[in-house]
Amino acid sequence: MLKKYVGILASVFLLSQPIKAQTQIFATLTGNPIVTTGWNLTGNARTGDTPGDSDADFNELIVCPSQTFTSGAVFYGTPLNLAACNKFSVDFEFRMFGGNSADGMAFCFLTNPPTGFVNGQGIGIPSNPRGLMVVFDTFDNCNQNNNPEIQIRVGNGNGNYQECPTPPQPTLTNQTYLRNNNYQQARIEYEGGAIRVFVDGILRLTGNSFLNFTGYFGFTAATGSQTDIHSIRNVVIKMDKPRAQAGPDRVVCPGDTVHLGVPTTVATTYAWLPSTQLSAPNVSAPVFTAVNTSNSPIPYTFILKVDTAGIPCPGYDTVTVTVNPIPENPGLNDSSKICPGLGEKLDLALGIYPNYLWSDGSNGSQITVNKPGTYWVKVSDDIGCANYDTIQVIEFCPFSVEFPNVLTPNGDGKNDFFKGRLIGVKSLKMRVFDRWGRKQYEAEASNFNADTFEWWDGNTIGIADAVKFGQYTWVADVENGKGEILQYRGFLALIR
Q: Are residues 14 and 62 in the same domain?
A: no
Q: Are residues 34 and 152 in the same domain?
A: yes
Q: Are residues 47 and 184 in the same domain?
A: yes
User: How many domains does the chain contain in total?
Assistant: 4
Instruction: List pLDDT tens digits, range 313-333.
Output: 777 889 999 999 999 999 888
Considering the chain, what percentage of its residues have pLDDT values greater than 90? Answer: 61
Q: Give the β-pairing of 287-289 and 406-407.
A: unpaired
Residue finishing a domain among 300, 323, 346: 323
The SS3 of residue 260 is coil
Q: What Cα–Cα distance (Å) separates residue 466 from each residue in 32, 455, 458?
A: 106, 15, 6
**What pLDDT shows up at residue 82?**
84
The SS3 of residue 178 is helix
Q: Are residues 92 and 216 in the same domain?
A: yes
Domain membership of residue 3 (yes or no) is no
Say how far apart CA 330 and CA 32 lie, in whole Å: 54
The predicted model gives 72-100 an average pLDDT of: 90
Strand-pair partners of 276: none
Q: Return the exposure string of 408-439: e unless at least 16 CB atoms fall within 10 Å of the residue's CB, then b.
A: bbeeeeebeebbbebebbbebbbbbbbeeeee
**What pLDDT shows up at residue 266?**
59
Q: Are residues 256 and 107 in the same domain?
A: no
pLDDT(147) > 90 = no
Instruction: List pLDDT tens digits, range 392-422.
Output: 999 899 999 999 999 998 888 888 999 999 9
Please enumerate in sequence order all residues whose Cβ is within 8 A of that of 11, keeping only pairs 6 or more positions apart, or say none: 256, 257, 258, 259
Q: Are residues 109 and 189 in the same domain?
A: yes
Domain membership of residue 155 (yes or no) is yes
Q: Confidence class of residue 356 from pLDDT cuts 50, 70 and 90?
A: very high
Domain membership of residue 135 (yes or no) is yes
DSSP state of 334: S
pLDDT(385) > 60 = yes
Report the phi/psi class of residue 424: left, alpha or beta, with left for phi > 0 and alpha for psi in -120 to 50.
left
Domain membership of residue 83 (yes or no) is yes
∠34-36-42 over CA atoms, to 5°? 120
The whole-chain average pLDDT of the chain stands at 87
Say how far apart CA 108 and CA 110 lie, in whole Å: 6
Helix then strand then coil, % of the chain, to nearest 5: 0, 50, 50
Q: Domain of 128: which CATH number?
A: 2.60.120.200
Say how far apart CA 341 and CA 321 lie, in whole Å: 53
* CA 428 to the chain's CA centroid: 65
The predicted model gives 131-158 an average pLDDT of: 86
Say how far apart CA 360 and CA 113 lie, in whole Å: 72
Lowest-confidence pick of 195-204, 235-244, 250-259? 235-244
Q: Are residues 340 and 311 in the same domain?
A: no
**What pLDDT shows up at residue 263?**
76
The answer to whether 88 touches 190, Cβ cutoff 8 Å, is yes
**What pLDDT shows up at residue 143?**
67
The SS3 of residue 137 is strand
Residue finishing a domain among 270, 288, 323: 323
The predicted model gives 282-290 an average pLDDT of: 94
Say how far apart CA 137 and CA 335 lie, in whole Å: 90
The predicted model gives 244-266 an average pLDDT of: 88
DSSP state of 120: G
The answer to whether 257 touches 105, Cβ cutoff 8 Å, is no
Domain around 156: 23-241
Q: Confidence class of residue 22 from pLDDT cuts 50, 70 and 90?
A: low
Q: Confidence class of residue 277 from pLDDT cuts 50, 70 and 90?
A: very high
Q: Are residues 100 and 234 in the same domain?
A: yes
Domain membership of residue 55 (yes or no) is yes
The answer to whether 42 touches 114, Cβ cutoff 8 Å, is yes
Domain membership of residue 329 (yes or no) is no
**What pLDDT shows up at residue 15?**
35
The answer to whether 386 touches 379, Cβ cutoff 8 Å, is yes
Q: Confidence class of residue 12 from pLDDT cuts 50, 70 and 90?
A: very low
The answer to whether 302 touches 246, Cβ cutoff 8 Å, is yes
Q: Give the β-pairing of 386-395 and 180-191.
A: unpaired
The predicted model gives 223-242 an average pLDDT of: 90
More confident residue, 353 or 23: 353
Domain membership of residue 1 (yes or no) is no
The predicted model gives 204-231 an average pLDDT of: 93
**What pLDDT shows up at residue 10?**
36
Q: Are residues 452 and 464 in the same domain?
A: yes
Domain membership of residue 50 (yes or no) is yes
Q: Domain of 468: which CATH number?
A: 2.60.40
Instruction: List pLDDT tens digits, range 473-482.
Output: 999 999 998 8
Residue finishing a domain among 395, 414, 441: 395
Q: Domain of 290: which CATH number?
A: 2.60.40.10
Q: Are residues 143 and 250 in the same domain?
A: no
Q: Are residues 119 and 211 in the same domain?
A: yes
Q: Are residues 285 and 381 in the same domain?
A: no
